[in-house]
Amino acid sequence: MKISNAFIKKYLIPLTLIILLFLASAWLVNHYANAGYRWIFYTLIIDFVLIIVLLALIILKVFRDSAKQQQAQELLAESKEKYKALMETSTDGTLIIIDREIVYANFVFLAMSGYTLTDLSQIKFEDLILRETAPDCTLDGFYEEIGDIGRTINLEAMISCKRGEMREVILTASRVDLMGQNGIIIISKDLSRKERIEKESINLMNELQSSILMMNLPVNSFVREHLTCDMDISVHEAASLMRRKDQNAIIITKDANQPVGIITDCDLRNRVVAREMDLGNPVFEIMSSPLIRIPDEALLYEAVLKIKENSISHLAVEDRAGRIIGIFSNEDLLEVQRNSISYLIKEVSAAETVESLKKIHNKIPVIVKILLESGSKVRNITYLISTVTDAITHRLVEFAIEEMGEPPAEFAFLALGSEGRREQTLVTDQDNAIVFEDVPNEKFAEVNRYFLYFGKKINLWLDKIGYQYCQGEVMAGNPQWCQPISRWKKYFYDWITQKSQDGLLGVAVFLDFRIVYGMDKYAEELRRHINKTVDGKRSFFRLLANEVSKYSIPTDIFKDNGTETTPGQPEAFNIKNAISPLVDFIRVYSVQSHVSETNSLLRLEKLLRLNVIPEEEYHEIENIYSRMMEIRFRSHVNAILDNKAPDNMVTRDELPVIEQTMIRKTFSEIIRYQEKILSDFMV
């Protein structure tokens, strides 16, 4: 245990002076006193020895007490850091209150409230947390309401934000004991955020704040370019270079560009401005050294731990050869938290080969597993998969253009089917097409040849990455689905007016089209054409409604709710065929109502706002769809992680008894919607 300066001044120095004074006095008495007075001398020695022993015992006791107190303070600080580290991975807003003071708020709470931690330390609890049921509740009253250590309460409240707005939240508050200090941990779930996510379409950023999603990714995915300068240049020159390059750190080098240290914005504030240092001094005088490094293959959580262990804000990232390739900082970690899927899109954009895109694609099952286990919404999982697929397809289009040269005409690459609806799962094939501008007849053969070869390239690459060829050959490399805009308009007209034998196939696959790359105007033009063509086509919608009713739903499945099978009873079902009636049901009403959205749940929300379906049906269909998709994802993930080929068949063994019962009830509800669409359109 370290001895503090205060302890030395208060006890050890006085004791040393007493001993020296005694020795000097004893020498004088012994040297000059007569032999007859020697007994006084010996008595004096005994008294001084007793005093010294008593004083030493007192000092030893004080020292031990001080050591225990210091150890307790260190343990308390360590406990606080552990709590903080735990809270930083939370997806919800978190506050830590110790001895009735706000000592910590995680990034989510700061973003939610608009305050800084300094702001929060100056705000009264009752001015921050407001409750209708207890408007006068103080922090002391809150402590009393929670009660004993280990008890947790849940309540509704409002957070008064810095910008004056009020956020409705659900608070979960728990009492904790940190080395004898009373504390409260408050977790806030933002209800207003939840409503925005449900109403605003695809806003996955707020759903993927979990650091768990990131912690097992290599740190090189987040590395930023770095600046370097020689150790002998002036502080002014180094600061000017950082400003010009808009960087908050610079690596200091010496002979042959050997890295020896780093300076950051914080160093400039604390070591230059605060100390009024001469800006002409060499930069090595203020650098932090040695340079703390981490391999580029290290995982993100290792970088975070190293930053905390060394109490620094920046790490130098090096490759296998020991060369510095960039810098990782606390700000980079915050950026990751702000946009949880940005790292995947960044990797896709930087990929230079099809093989590297395949490696990114292979990460998706693990990410989906994490999201499922963390309770993420199904719509956000499908959005994540489709967003990555969009980015991969976009990059492949860029590859093709780099190889073949600039396209000879304007075009758009279309995603169809589940990808067009942003509802891709882990078992999916390709559904895509190309639409290009109408060109003069003499130019058509050349343009058509370019785009057909172009489409075949992309289809081949997608297959190599893991998106299987479409068995029905609905792909951009098929001459039938690589056509000019006028031809596409005729396709839709023939399908809708039933002049084509494959009309229903066209509706099932192509009405869910969405632009992935190219000119958005072609999507808008096609959508207007479809809306105009479907008006008044009652017979067309009757055919679509009849197709919805053709799906066979096994209502007698899992009837015994147990592990023993019943003769003749189905023990597995195709979950895609169970979900498809709902997807088709939503599509039919959406096309009739000119809804431009392609995602099923977004279409459903639009139908609710248009009063096409009542609110009760909206919630029921959304719940059925989400439950079934969750089971589908879970089945796919488990198969992939077990090194098996995933499919859409779900067996009894994959489902707990309670879900077997839920499946039968859900199937009955799906049949009811099959009957409803028949009654609405077959009359």
Q: What is the CATH number of the domain that holds 608?
A: 1.20.120
The answer to whether residue 204 is domain-embedded is: no
Handedness of CA 530, 535, 536, 540 (dihedral sign): positive
Look at residue 363 in the predicted model and tell me its pLDDT.
80
Residues 325 and 404 in one domain: no
Look at residue 180 in the predicted model and tell me its pLDDT.
64
d(CA 240, CA 253): 17
Strand 514-518 versus strand 482-484 pairing type: unpaired
Tell me: pLDDT of 620 over 60: yes
Look at residue 406 in the predicted model and tell me its pLDDT.
93
- Least confident piece of the model among 68-77, 486-495, 545-554, 667-676: 68-77
The last residue of a domain, from among 310, 340, 370: 340
Task: Note the residue count of the chain.
Answer: 683
Query: In whole angstroms, what separates CA 515 from the centre of its chain?
Result: 26
CATH number, domain of 413, equals 3.30.460.10
The answer to whether residue 203 is domain-embedded is: no
Task: Report pLDDT digits (tens) over 411-450.
Answer: 999 999 989 998 888 878 899 999 999 999 999 999 999 9
Residues 170 and 298 in one domain: no
- Residue 130's CB: how many other CB atoms inside 10 A? 14
Q: Specify whether the CB–CB gap between 225 and 326 falls below 8 A.
A: yes
- Average pLDDT rounded to a whole number, residues 525-535: 90
Task: Quickly state the pLDDT bin for 556 (edges 50, 70, 90).
Answer: confident
Look at residue 19 in the predicted model and tell me its pLDDT.
64
Task: Quickly state the pLDDT bin for 342 (edges 50, 70, 90).
Answer: low
Residues 176 and 320 in one domain: no
Higher pLDDT, 230 or 376: 230
The answer to whether residue 541 is domain-embedded is: no
Residues 463 and 507 in one domain: yes
Measured between its terminal Cα atoms, the distance across the chain in Å is 89
Tell me: pLDDT of 193 over 50: no
Residue 64 token pair: 């031990």
Look at residue 199 in the predicted model and tell me its pLDDT.
41
- DSSP reduced 3-state for 244: helix
The answer to whether residue 209 is domain-embedded is: no
Higher pLDDT, 205 or 509: 509
d(CA 618, CA 604): 7
Look at residue 203 in the predicted model and tell me its pLDDT.
41
Task: Report pLDDT digits (tens) over 74-122.
Answer: 655 665 565 555 555 566 788 888 878 888 888 778 887 888 888 888 8
Q: Which domain holds residue 50?
A: 5-83
Percent of the chain beyond pLDDT 70? 75
Average pLDDT of the chain?
80
Tell me: pLDDT of 333 over 80: no
What is the 3 state secondary structure string of 508-525? Answer: HHHCCCEEEEECCHHHHH
Higher pLDDT, 658 or 400: 400
Tell me: pLDDT of 569 over 70: no
Residue 484 bridge partners (DSSP): 436
Task: Report pLDDT digits (tens) over 205-234.
Answer: 334 444 445 566 678 777 888 899 999 899
pTM: 0.55
- Average pLDDT rounded to a whole number, residues 167-196: 71
d(CA 406, CA 397): 11
d(CA 409, CA 444): 10
Q: How many domains does the chain have?
A: 5
The answer to whether residue 303 is domain-embedded is: yes
The answer to whether residue 357 is domain-embedded is: yes
- Average pLDDT rounded to a whole number, residues 514-528: 90
Residue linked to tokens 């947390």: 129
Tell me: pLDDT of 679 over 70: yes
Tell me: pLDDT of 455 over 60: yes
170: left (phi over 0), alpha (psi -120 to 50) or beta: beta
Residues 78 and 95 in one domain: no
The last residue of a domain, from among 29, 50, 83: 83
Residues 510 and 555 in one domain: no
Tell me: pLDDT of 201 over 50: no
The answer to whether residue 207 is domain-embedded is: no
d(CA 316, CA 294): 6
The last residue of a domain, from among 58, 83, 108: 83
Residue 462 token pair: 């997608």
Tell me: pLDDT of 338 over 50: no
Residue 396 token pair: 């492949």
Look at residue 140 in the predicted model and tell me its pLDDT.
81
Residues 6+ apart with CB under 8 A from 391: 344, 345, 348, 349
Higher pLDDT, 466 or 508: 466
Look at residue 216 in the predicted model and tell me its pLDDT.
61
Residues 363 and 498 in one domain: yes
d(CA 28, CA 359): 89
d(CA 633, CA 425): 7
The answer to whether residue 97 is domain-embedded is: yes
Look at residue 365 in the predicted model and tell me its pLDDT.
82
DSSP 564: S
CATH number, domain of 257, equals 3.10.580.10
Residues 500 and 583 in one domain: no
Task: Quickly state the pLDDT bin for 587 (edges 50, 70, 90).
Answer: very high
How many helices (H) does the chain have, and how many strands (E)? 27, 18
- Average pLDDT rounded to a whole number, residues 319-339: 76
Residue 89 token pair: 């991975």
DSSP 285: G
Tell me: pLDDT of 659 over 80: yes
Residues 160 and 116 in one domain: yes
Residues 264 and 367 in one domain: no
Residue ranges of alpha helices (H) inside 274-377 are 300-309, 330-338, 342-350, 354-361, 364-373
Residues 55 and 106 in one domain: no
Residues 139 and 235 in one domain: no
Tell me: pLDDT of 394 over 90: yes
Higher pLDDT, 365 or 628: 628
